[in-house]
A and B are shown apart, each in its own frame.
Chain A
Amino acid sequence: MKSDASRLGFYLLFAPILLWLVVLIILPHIGLFIVSISEKVGPRQYETGFGNYAAFFGEPLYWRTFARTAIMSIAATALTLVLGFPIAYYIAKLTRGRTKTTLFLMCMIPFWVSELVRTFGWMILLRETGVFSNALQSLGLVSGPVEMLYNDAAIMVGLVYTSILFMVVPLVTTLDSLDDSLIEAGYDLGGSSTSIMREIVIPHAMPGIVSGCIVVFMLSLGNYLTPILLGGKDSLWFTGMIYTQFITRFNWELGSAFGFLLLGLSSLVVFLGLKLSGQTLSQTMGRS
């Protein structure tokens, strides 16, 4: 009787996650896959085949944009890590009590407004008639208005800003769990700051680093707003291409194929990242 009841409890608790997975993730992906392997041969006539995937590899524009998106996302992730690590280290190790809470909160406050508003904020700052351009002119550093928007650097700034919180939070959590006495012991044993960072802090923070990187990479790769709004006439982003295929070209078949390729790419990059850092998914996701 008791085991029956506990089994019922298990199924009841398991049901929501199962429903979530099946209804919102597995079923749509099956549908998407079926659409992606149907080729249009005429109005309302479709054939099964891998023509859409062939179209992707046959058209340099598509795979170049694909590669560009991946490389820029990896760069954005690296940059976020470089910027986020000192912030997280400072919050976790060098502050106490109220200061710590305040700093942590200050990292989070910008995320209380939507991503769209934050991106528009950057547009106001960076545009030709914007805040930075005017400030530089009034300081006499430049003679005419400067355009800082509509290029890849603007996209990078936007991506890093949008996702830095998702790097800082797991890092603070893992760094918090590092006992200060371990660092002291390192100094006692004659370690320099660099060697302690390399031998003690970073290995301990590795799960946090990896999980932060995974989240930031996924967010950047799948970001639509930031690249579209901040990017210029040459700044193609793969999610933008998926949108175009679905909405303006009425070509759901190719759009679905693109969606699957993006899924494959992100899975591959995460897999390689885990292999290279010697972490496992359960370790990183479990601990942070």
Chain B
Amino acid sequence: MSVKLTNLGRLALATTAIAALPMMASADTLRLLTWGGYAPEEVIAKFEAETGHTVEVTTSNNEEMIAKLRATNGGGFDLAQPSQDRITSAQEEFGIYKPIDMSKVDAAQFIPSMLTATAGNSSFEGEVYGLPHVWGTSGLVVNTAMAGNVQDYTDLCDASVAGKVSYRLKRPTLIGFAFSMGMDPFAAYGDSAAYQGVLDQVEAKLTECKPNVKTYWGGGDEIKNLLRSGEVVASMAWDTGGWQLNADNPDITFVAPKAGALGWIDTFVLPARGRADDAAYDWINFVMKPEIAAMITNTAGNFTAAVDGDAGVNADLKARYQGSFDQQAIDNIKWYPPVPAGLEAMEGATLDRINAAN
């Protein structure tokens, strides 16, 4: 059937389409920019059935999230999940987020202390930009049978594990080594001269440590492979990586370093030019329900900021968590404060020099 549309007909069609829009607004497409494991298939299916929204997931990491949003001035996604320490500087430099409307969030579902802490850390010019979601730590993942003496970041430079060590050449390594060397890099965040002093000492240490390193790992799968095959026996990595390996090989596990594990909180933020804010709030309120939060913990391996979110978590994961963290280790977690703008450039220069050193 071929129908020639007259101008009038076209107009009528357009009007109908526009009239239909408000009805469709309740069922949006949520473009979610997140980490692997934070949006499991089953959770998406439940959410879509319950709300009628559809979810498109893009998995990424902190740096790529910021880079992607910067490229579009905060467009292309409706909800993103960077870590809380990377919100204010990115907002200050690039203006890629919009403030959270707390009236649309079911705040009672969040653990109050975490909600307040994240609000404090993600405030910029009086507005709150982040809500806490998943938290975890990075520290040491060690094959205890072969490198039981590795208890702290600087132990990775010990001669007993020479050639069988791996860590990332990224900022957590700098921070971890600084703490292990008795300094407090977070206290020096605000004073660039003092921070440069910290970085210089860490640079000397990491350069000296370089012969011990087999390779600098880049992705989570790479380090898990290296540990599983026994090519690497001690490394700096995330807690979940250690716990996953522990399931396959009881010798390998996550060790909270003496100087303190480094704590991060991944958040919810709204990109500045996101189009489906309602769907984003729906998603936030949905995944913070205790039973959904437990499902996410079971796939991602990390605990959430949801009240009672740990109730439905499987017992193995809880046991591994308790094995790595006693109360003292939990109290000793060093939570990342917001990174001031411009700090990354100083760290970058340090990392470059370490990479180039022989």
Partner-B contacts on A (CB < 8 A): 43-44, 59, 61, 64-65, 127-129, 147, 149-150, 228, 232-234, 236, 244, 246-252
Contact = CB atoms under 8 A, between A and B. Distances in A.
Contacts of A228: 218
B65 to A, nearest CB: 10
Size range of the chain B interface in the assembly: 20 to 34
Given A43-B92, A44-B94, A147-B231, 13 more contacts: A43-B93, A44-B93, A59-B352, A61-B353, A61-B355, A128-B231, A233-B169, A233-B214, A247-B67, A248-B63, A248-B170, A250-B63, A250-B66
Contact of B67 (A128, A150, A234, A250): A250
B95 A250 contact: no
Interface of B: 63-64, 66-67, 70, 90, 92-95, 169-170, 210, 213-216, 218, 229-231, 341, 344-345, 348, 352-353, 355-356, 358
Contacts of A150: 214-215
A244 B215 CA distance: 17
Given A128-B229, A233-B210, A251-B345, A61 B170 contact: no
B344 A249 contact: yes
Contact of B215 (A44, A232, A246, A251): A232
Contacts of A65: 356
Given A128-B229, A233-B215, A247 B93 contact: no
B231 A61 contact: no
Nearest to B353: A61
A129 B230 contact: yes
A234 B353 CA distance: 11
Contacts of B345: 249, 251
Task: Name the 4 nearest CB pairs between A and B, nearest first.
Answer: A249-B348, A129-B229, A61-B356, A150-B215
Contact of A129 (B70, B231, B344, B356): B231
Contacts of A252: 70
Residue from B92, B229, B352 having most chain A Cβ neighbours under 10 A:
B352
A260 B234 CA distance: 40
Contacts of A244: 348
B70 to A, nearest CB: 7
B67 A246 contact: yes
26 contacts: A43-B92, A43-B341, A44-B94, A44-B95, A59-B352, A61-B353, A65-B356, A127-B229, A128-B229, A150-B215, A233-B216, A234-B355, A234-B358, A236-B355, A244-B348, A247-B63, A247-B67, A248-B63, A248-B170, A248-B344, A248-B348, A249-B344, A249-B345, A250-B66, A250-B67, A251-B348
Contacts of B210: 233
A43 B90 CA distance: 10
A250 B344 contact: yes
A163 B59 CA distance: 31
A247 B218 contact: no
Given A247-B67, A250-B67, A64 B356 contact: yes
